[in-house]
Amino acid sequence: MTGNLAHLTLAFGLLGNVVSFMVFLAPIPTFYKVYKKKSTEGFQSAPYVVGLFSAMLWIYYAFLKTNVMLLITINSVGCFIETLYICFFLYYAPKKARMESLKLIVLLIVVGFGLIVALTQFLASGVTRGVIVGWICLVFSLCVFVAPLGVVRQVIKTKSVEYMPILLSVALTLSAVMWFFYGLLLGDFNIAIPNVLGFTFGILQMILYFMYKNKKPVIDEKIPTFDAKTSKMEQKIPEFKDQKIIDVVKLKTLLQSDLIPMTAGHGDAKPQVPSNVPNYTIEVIA
């Protein structure tokens, strides 16, 4: 019986390594675009810095435990890949984005991880140290798994799955399943519990994908209005509760450049308003 559990644990650990490796490679198309355009444009370095921090945490936790070599292997690979992503990002990022990324790296990797290692080494010992680091890993992993809720909200609001790739959702769900059973068979709930949440959100994302993949995206219709003070067109959405009458045209302010001719040759001439141009009103019924 013990032998069968050991084989199952090894199998789930190996599968978890394979699927997680695929997840680590998922950003390659993004960085290929960066390479082609020679600019990071609107991309952010935060996901890769957080990924590096998470991998380092799990490696530290694994060194405090026994029989979790497969946890060390995949997170070592993850550290290497995430470091490559960050270096690539820093090389092509504009100065402002580069400085922000360096600040985040110092804050999270140098200060954050450094403090965790230092405090647990000097203030805890033995099993207690492993328990504390395990709880830190668990809480941080839960926060990482909760992060996609923003994407889920966007999908529901816009009825568009443009920013939720199905392959990545499937890979993350499979990864959560593998690591859940790996942690469960090892009796390590710091590994198993966060992946319950990961599996749940992965299934939710796949359900939303199949619900909205053929839906027409919702586009907010906005009515342009003219601001006479700033002379700029602004997009505003009026809210109507009752029937309202909107005075649309004030000829002297709104149509001066198009409808009001100026008398040539007189510097102090006043605009001549054509008598045949009526004042318009639009009746809007809520």
Dihedrals phi, psi of 160, to nearest 5 degrees: -130, 135
What is the average per-residue pLDDT within 95-99?
Answer: 91
What count of other Cβ atoms lies within 10 Å of the Cβ of residue 80? 13
Q: Which residues, including other chains, have CB under 8 Å from residue 38's CB and lie 6 or more apart?
A: 92
Please choose, from the candidates 110, 100, 88, 84, the residue with its C-alpha nearest in 3D space to the C-alpha of residue 46. 100
> Would you place residue 29 in the very low, low, confident or very high pLDDT band (cuts 50, 70, 90)?
confident
Please choose, from the candidates 179, 142, 176, the residue with its C-alpha nearest in 3D space to the C-alpha of residue 54. 142
Answer whether 62's CB lies under 8 Å from 71's CB.
Answer: yes
What is the average per-residue pLDDT within 3-28?
Answer: 88
Is the pLDDT at 254 greater than 80? The verdict is no
Helix (H) or strand (E) holding 258: helix 256-259
What is the average per-residue pLDDT within 37-41?
Answer: 84
pTM above 0.95, yes or no: no
**176-210 confidence digits (pLDDT tens):** 999 999 999 988 889 999 899 888 888 888 888 88
CA distances, 63 to each of 2, 57, 72, 79, 226 (Å)? 24, 10, 8, 15, 64
Backbone φ/ψ region at 56: left (φ over 0), alpha (ψ -120 to 50), beta: alpha
CA distances, 276 to each of 152, 217, 249, 260 (Å)? 55, 44, 14, 12
**Which residues face 235 on adjacent strands?**
224
- Most confident range, picked from 12-16, 155-159, 160-164: 12-16
What is the average per-residue pLDDT within 102-114?
Answer: 93
Burial class (CB in 10 A: 0-12, 13-18, 19+), 9: buried
Q: How large a percentage of the chain has pLDDT more than 90?
A: 33
Six-digit token string for 3: 């032998």
| H runs (alpha helix) in 65-165 | 69-92, 95-105, 114-123, 126-146, 149-158
**pLDDT of the residue at 202:** 85
Six-digit token string for 208: 């939303």
**113-161 confidence digits (pLDDT tens):** 999 999 999 988 888 998 999 999 998 888 887 766 777 788 888 887 7
For residues 218 and 238, give the distance between their C-alpha atoms in angstroms, rounded to a whole number.
18
Six-digit token string for 185: 């068979």
Is the pLDDT at 259 greater than 50? The verdict is no
Six-digit token string for 126: 């033995």
Is the pLDDT at 49 greater than 80? The verdict is yes
Name the average pLDDT for the chain.
Answer: 77
Is the pLDDT at 109 greater than 80? The verdict is yes
**pLDDT of the residue at 218:** 61
